[in-house]
Copies of this chain bind each other. A is one copy, B any other.
Amino acid sequence: MPDNNHGYVFLHTGNGKGKTTAALGLALRAVGHGKRVFMAQFMKGRDYGEWLAAEKYLPDLVLHKCGRDSFVIKGDLSPIDIELALEGLEAAKTAMYSGKYDMVILDEINVAVDYKLIPLDAVLDLIKNKPKELYLGLTGRYAPPEFIELADLVTEMKEIKHPYTKGFAGRKGFEF
């Protein structure tokens, strides 16, 4: 474990719900204590509730969309998806070094790396060289073992039971 982390890198992975929402909860908690949070959301384009809430209520939670309003297909990436993902990574990097934020979250970065939208090394480099006091979050299924090795706090969200498996589609305001 690199010396500069000190419990400052958290990772949410696994096949269950709660990876992004737990990161959002941490963000909300941090904002409540007067901290500022930047969250880059990879592979997401449509209007999620967190964007609406942040825009309306939470000036200290900045959300950055890094995707289109359509699904990315593994093994069949379009140049625009790669471009948006890399642009998102740059934005996150800028936020990390700006001194403006206490917490930066790379939401779904694990999937973005797994899908090869973003090179593994670029993210490893970011984690290893993060400002010492910055709290850094990584979320998504398929976390690379290198991320698990570098992170201090790793939680696996494990699906025990899911209504989707009974033909449930998800409702606006609750599942997204």
A53 at the interface (CB under 8 A from B): yes
Please give the residue numbers on chain A whose beta carbons come within 8 Å of chain B beta carbons, in ascending order.
6-7, 10, 12, 14, 16-26, 28-35, 48-54, 56-58, 102-103, 135, 148, 151-163, 166, 168, 172-174, 176
Also in contact, A153 and B148, with CB within 8 A (given A29-B50, A174-B103): no
Q: Name the residue of chain B whose CB is nearest to the CB of A30.
A: B173
Closest beta carbon of chain B to A160's beta carbon, Å: 4
Interface of A is mostly: mixed
Contact A176–B29 (Cβ < 8 Å): yes
**Which residues of chain B are within 8 angstroms of A50 by Cβ–Cβ distance?**
25, 28-29, 32
B6, B160, B173, B176: the one within 8 Å of A148 (CB): B160
CA of A163 to CA of B56, assembled, Å? 34
Question: Are the CB atoms of B29 and A155 closer together than 8 Å?
Answer: no
Q: Contact between A155 and B154 (Cβ–Cβ < 8 Å)?
A: no
